[in-house]
Amino acid sequence: METNKRIPVIWLQLMDCTGCSESFIRSSHPRTENVLFDMISLEYHELLSAAAGHQIEENRERIMEQYKGEYILVVEGNVTDDEFLTVAGHSALESLKETAKHAKAVLAYGSCSAFGGLAAAKPNPTNAKAVSDVVRGVPIINVPGCPPIAEVMTGVIAHVITFGRLPELDRQGRPKAFYKLRIHDKCNRRAYFDAGLFVESFDDEGAKVGYCLYKVGCAGPTTYNACAEMRWNGGVSYPIQSGNPCIGCSEKNFWDEGPFFTR
């Protein structure tokens, strides 16, 4: 049957803000609806599933049993100590371990699940951490960003479906295809950096004409992500193009290495 060709996906939302889901549903190439109707069978998602409560929990268990070793687990949000997060009356940490155990692969969407994220900022009262800190024995693909670019999220799934294998990853577990370059390498303001023309304050003449944002805190020289190449909202723009320095939202510990605009 047609349905059987689509890879079952269980999408767990742990301690998150749902921003990663919001980004995912805005993919334009491939279009989100093509991913949902042609590539995957989204079996469990707090935001997008029609089912809820006992019905959806039973479905999660059914998929884990029926598609052992075949389904993909997506994780959005970070992992906390047990007492801080329960889902459907169960420890979220235990649900994560249980669901990951027989997954073909885990996609850690967003800087929260890939690296710990904003909730892990000092003093990190919930002991928030990355999925890779608690899940072992299953391939994990980190897709950081707060949130990640929509087309990067769907592109990683499309790769797995099209080639039947995981993409090539770098040392931080990120797909090289999307995270091999720094923002600085393809930045639209790079010529100003090279010419030594910088914005000194957000209301000066340099800001009006689009000079480099390095002196007002841009983290583009140390941030690996595809924003400058692919841009956001279907290729329209990205933070730097819109006048905002990159805050390094796809990098480990960006949340503690601020304040964002005075680094």
CA distance 154 to 5: 17
- Does 224 bind ligand SF4 (CB under 6 A)? Our answer is no
Kindly tell me which of 97 and 231 has the beta carbon lying closer to ligand F3S.
231
Q: Which residue blocks in the chain are alpha helix, DSSP H?
A: 2-5, 19-24, 32-34, 53-66, 92-101, 110-115, 150-163, 176-179, 183-186, 190-195, 205-209, 227-230
Q: How far is the CB of 31 from ligand SF4 (least distance, A)?
A: 21
Q: How far is the CB of 139 from ligand SF4 (least distance, A)?
A: 20
**Under a CB-based contact definition with an 8 Å cutoff, are residues 246 and 185 in contact?**
no
Q: How far is the CB of 15 from ligand F3S (least distance, A)?
A: 20
Q: Report the amino acid identity of residue 45.
A: H
Alpha-carbon torsion, ordered 88, 92, 95, 99, to 10 deg: 120
Kindly tell me which of 47 and 51 has the beta carbon lying closer to ligand SF4.
47
Phi, psi dihedrals of residue 73, rounded to the nearest 5° = -105, 120
Among 60-68, 84-92, 101-109, 222-230, the segment contacting ligand F3S (CB under 6 A): 222-230
- Residue 79 gets the label, from left (phi > 0), alpha (psi -120 to 50) or beta, of beta
Residues 7-36 contacting ligand SF4, CB under 6 A: 16-17, 19-20
**Under a CB-based contact definition with an 8 Å cutoff, are residues 101 and 60 in contact?**
no
- Does 111 bind ligand F3S (CB under 6 A)? Our answer is no
Among 28-36, 92-100, 154-162, 210-218, the segment contacting ligand SF4 (CB under 6 A): 210-218
Binding site for ligand F3S (CB under 6 A): 145, 183, 223, 225, 227, 238-240, 246-250
Residues forming contacts to ligand SF4 in the complex (CB under 6 A) are 16-17, 19-20, 76-77, 110-112, 117-118, 146-147, 183-184, 187, 189-190, 193, 212-214, 218, 220-221, 240, 246
